[in-house]
Amino acid sequence: MSNTVSILNLVASPWESVLSLVRSECNDYFGLTILETVGFEGICDGYAMLTVPDELRQNWVNVHYGAILRKSFSAVFGSEFKDYQIRQVAPSESVPEVKFSAPAAPVVPAAARTRPKAAPRPRLKLYAGYTFEKFIEGSCNSTALRACKAVSENPGDPDLNPLFVYGKSGLGKTHLLQSIASKIYKTKPQSRIVYCHAYDFLRDATAVAKALKFKTGNVRELAQAFQDKYENCDILLLDDIQLIEKGVTTQERLAILIRHLRSQGKQVVISCDRHPSSFTRAVDEADFKSKVNAGVPCISSKLLAPLDSCVAVGLDEPDFNTRMRLIQQKSVDIPFVDRDREEIYRYLSIPPRQNFRIIEGILVTLGAMNDLCQQNLDLPTVKRLLGNNDTSTTGEITPKGISEVVAAEFGVDTVVLESKRQDLKASLPRKVAMYLCREMTTESLSNIGAMFNRDYATVIAAIQSLKKQMDKDESLMQKVQDIQYLLEA
């Protein structure tokens, strides 16, 4: 009997009636395209049997249209309807259908047949210099670099999907994501790659929603464009997702998209300025809005769900050697004086120039100034040029500031420098502090001595002793020079 009921219902097109009711209450632009892919197999023991082609649509229907579907089915089928069930049917899999007589389809001449046009590949906008070959590797980023190279060689590998790259601004996240895109584009040119900032995703996702809400524009066309770009891509590289921190609906759409792409074996790589665990989980939309309004970094629990199982790799601030290698590579075309080149590298690599972006900005500034002024770029000239342009300059150098920096570099407390201790751990940093106070300030020797509880003659003796030590110990001389560069910065 249940089969008979299904045949009668299908002939009477109750599914079209259900769809009409659902469409009348559709308040989300995805419904205009997703509902068209939902199939109806009839009623079995009170359950409406529905089919969808993939997990994306199954999740979307359950989350956004479950209540509307139940209401619409009840209106059409009455007490016979209990609930609905959805199963995924691959596009190549034949969907069971109830057959009944229908007029034969007209034969279309071969000349009149047109093959559906494949959606064009998204246009990639990449920086030419952002490749793996030009990425400076160091202990601060080696793990992230290896993970990104592995993804570019084997996109879709479930062990690295999704890949989450996190770190502060200027440490190389964009460089790595674009390197992945560049490598895959060269080695797998047939792949559909989407690289964009999260702001672009937010813009695309809300454009159609606004068109639907305000009844402007071609909603169906915009929705189809969104689907072609994001749902049908092979590799999605989304940069700086913290930019969608306040968009709860956009976050939920992204969560479903990530699950869909992953279920299809498609690669997802996301970058952010912090680890997923640094975000507060919002349990619902009201909780989300209250946390965002309070200034708490927050992500919807629906987006955090797929991120909980992601592979997260971090980028730290580059160490001294990594900064040096970066400067050497990026300054090849800058005509530094040969005799000062190594010292200029050291001077440019000292804190607080902690990240790649700051260093690259300084090098661009020096190159531009040299082109304009045609100056001889020795170390004093570089210092003078950056004196007016280096935003990290903190102000006047004082004996107290020198004492604090020296103590920190030698790993002792400033109290030790003022004490009567004469062991090497106390005497050497004290000598360095006295020497730098004499070299970098206008304080008299008497005032310098008073600061360290020493007399005038002791200060002279300490400075002379340090100079002799530096003449014999090149590493000590370099350490003192680096501290001086640090103070100048």
pLDDT in tens, the chain (489 residues): 444 343 334 444 688 888 777 777 665 555 656 777 788 888 887 888 888 877 767 777 777 778 888 888 888 888 888 888 888 776 544 444 433 333 444 454 554 444 445 555 666 788 888 999 999 898 889 999 999 999 999 998 888 988 999 998 888 999 999 999 999 999 998 899 999 888 888 888 888 777 777 766 677 788 888 888 888 899 999 998 888 766 777 887 888 888 889 888 899 999 988 888 777 666 666 666 666 565 556 666 677 777 777 889 999 988 888 888 888 888 888 888 888 888 888 888 776 666 788 888 888 888 877 777 777 788 888 888 776 444 444 457 788 888 888 888 888 888 888 888 888 888 898 989 888 888 888 788 888 888 888 888 888 898 888 888 888 888 888 888 878 777 776
Q: Contact 44/3 with Cβ under 8 angstroms?
A: no
Q: 198-214 vs 248-263: helix axis angle to the nearest 10? A: 110
Maximum pairwise Cα distance, the chain: 114
User: Quick one: pLDDT at residue 32?
Assistant: 55
> How far apart (Å, rounded) are the C-alpha atoms in residues 170 and 273?
10
Looking up tokens 């790589």 gives 269
Q: How many residues does the chain have?
A: 489
Residue 252: both structure tokens together: 């939920």
What is the identity of the amino acid at 382? V
Contact 54, 265 (CB under 8 A): no
The CATH number of 132-314, from 3.40.50.2300, 1.10.1660.10, 3.40.980.10, 3.40.50.300, is 3.40.50.300
The domain defined by 399-488 folds into: Chromosomal Replication Initiator Protein Dnaa; Chain: A; (1.10.1750)
Whole-number pLDDT of residue 95: 41
Q: Where in the chain are the domains?
A: 2-88, 132-314, 320-387, 399-488
pLDDT at res. 300: 66
Vertex 331 angle, CA 326 and 336, to 5°: 130
Q: Is 301 exposed, middle or buried (0-12, 13-18, 19+ CB in 10 A)?
A: middle
The pairing of strands 298-300 and 280-282 is parallel
Which residues are within 8 A (CB) of 152 and not within 5 positions of it... i.e. 6 or more apart?
132, 179, 180, 183, 184, 187
Smallest CA-to-CA distance from 266 within 228, 233, 221 is with 233
**How far is the C-alpha of 487 from the C-alpha of 402, rounded, in Å?**
7
**CATH 3.50.50.60: does it fit domain 2-88?**
no
Direct distance between the N- and C-terminal alpha carbons of the chain, in angstroms, rounded to an integer:
86
CA–CA distance from 254 to each of 124, 275, 335, 370 (Å)? Answer: 20, 17, 48, 47
Q: How many CA atoms lie within 13 A of 251 on its CB side?
A: 25
φ/ψ region of 86 (left if φ > 0, alpha if ψ in -120 to 50, else beta) reads beta
Residues 193, 195, 196, CA angle at the centre, nearest 5°? 145
Burial status of residue 275 (CB atoms within 10 A of its CB: 0-12, 13-18, 19 or more): middle
CB atoms within 10 A of CB 445: 18
Return phi, psi of residue 422, to 5°: -120, 5
3-state secondary structure the chain: CHHHHHHHHHHCCHHHHHHHHHHHCCCCCCHHHHHHHCEEEEEECCEEEEEECCHHHHHHHHHHHHHHHHHHHHHHHHHHCCEEEEEECCCCCCCCCCCCCCCCCCCCCHHHCCCCCCCCCCCCCCCCCCCHHHCCCCCCCHHHHHHHHHHHHCCCCHHHCCEEEECCCCCCHHHHHHHHHHHHHHHCCCCCEEEEEHHHHHHHHHHHHHHHHHCCCCHHHHHHHHHHHHHCCCEEEEECHHHHCCCHHHHHHHHHHHHHHHHCCCEEEEEECCCHHHCEEECCHHHHHHHHHCCCCEEEHHHHHHHHCCEEEECCCCCHHHHHHHHHHHCCCCCECHHHHHHHHHHHHCCCCCCHHHHHHHHHHHHHHHHHHCCCECHHHHHHHHHCCCCCCCCCCCHHHHHHHHHHHHCCCHHHHHCCCCCHHHHHHHHHHHHHHHHHCCCCHHHHHHHCCCCHHHHHHHHHHHHHHHHHCHHHHHHHHHHHHHHHC
Q: Are 166 and 210 in contact, with CB atoms under 8 Å apart?
A: no
Give backbone dihedrals phi and psi of 282, rounded to 5 degrees, phi first: -100, 130
d(CA 18, CA 37): 14
